[in-house]
């Protein structure tokens, strides 16, 4: 219907569009991490923009540690997961199409896994073993924080589109992750979930109707 293109079919059927690298466009998740995180899974759907490196789909900063939890692909480096400023490379490049990406991690021996489109692409251990992720920080989409909630670097910013961020306080099973990726089921994160009202937009960032589980995605 003309003039009605902005209406979302449901409050979680949208994407965020980052049309260029900036140091001012970002979204903030209104709900912070309430409890210490001893195990987690974070999944999101993203489509990279043109240019080298995906940038930073999300960053979580707490007082005293700006890199408490960060996903970044910078320049020609592989995608990296940072926890408490410790880094593990994930050995997968996100090419210019929609992909479903998940990271799992537990404090126990710092075991981590990376999935792309439901398939495990990397795993390891000793990523900030026995260091729980601290609560009470700021969770930002599209920028890398050098202080809590700010000091963004344009070279590390995200360009592209992202959607359907879900954050759980447990390690999802490979079957659960595959089901999420292929739209066989849709679990909702208990720490954070993708809802229009839970995402605060800044710097001219726009949200666009989008349902990843419909043909072609864009409604």
Average pLDDT along the chain, 219 residues, taken 10 residues at a time: 52 91 96 94 91 87 94 83 88 76 96 94 94 96 94 93 96 96 91 93 94 65
Measured distance CA(125)–CA(106) in Å, rounded = 9
pTM across the whole model: 0.91
Measured distance CA(151)–CA(213) in Å, rounded = 35
**Confidence (pLDDT) at 92:** 66
Q: Which of 74, 95, 87, 169 is nearest to 122 (CA)?
A: 87
**Confidence (pLDDT) at 73:** 86
Pick the CATH number of 23-203 from 2.60.120.200, 2.40.10.10, 3.90.1150.10, 2.40.30.40: 2.60.120.200
**Confidence (pLDDT) at 56:** 94
Q: Which of 90, 101, 102 is nearest to 171 (CA)?
A: 102
Domain ranges of the chain: 23-203
**Confidence (pLDDT) at 4:** 38
**Confidence (pLDDT) at 93:** 66
**Confidence (pLDDT) at 2:** 39
């Amino acid at each position: 219907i003309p003039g009605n293109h902005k209406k979302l079919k449901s409050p979680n059927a949208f994407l965020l569009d980052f049309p260029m690298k900036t140091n001012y466009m970002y979204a903030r998740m209104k709900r912070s991490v309430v409890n210490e995180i001893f195990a987690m899974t974070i999944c999101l759907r993203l489509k990279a923009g043109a240019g080298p490196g995906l940038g930073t789909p999300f960053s979580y900063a707490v007082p005293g540690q700006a890199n408490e939890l960060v996903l970044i692909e910078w320049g020609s480096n592989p995608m990296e997961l940072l926890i408490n400023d410790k880094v593990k490379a994930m050995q997968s490049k996100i090419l210019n199409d929609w992909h479903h990406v998940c990271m799992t991690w537990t404090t126990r021996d710092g075991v981590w896994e990376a999935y792309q489109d439901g398939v495990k692409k990397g795993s390891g251990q000793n990523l900030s073993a026995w260091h729980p992720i601290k609560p009470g920080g700021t969770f930002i989409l599209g920028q890398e924080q050098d202080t809590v909630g700010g000091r963004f670097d344009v070279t590390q910013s995200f360009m592209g589109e992202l959607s359907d961020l879900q954050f759980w306080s447990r390690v999802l099973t490979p079957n659960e992750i595959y089901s999420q990726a292929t739209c066989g089921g849709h679990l909702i994160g208990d720490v954070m979930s993708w809802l229009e009202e839970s995402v605060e937009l800044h710097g001219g960032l726009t949200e666009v109707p989008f349902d990843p589980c419909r043909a072609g995605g864009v409604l």
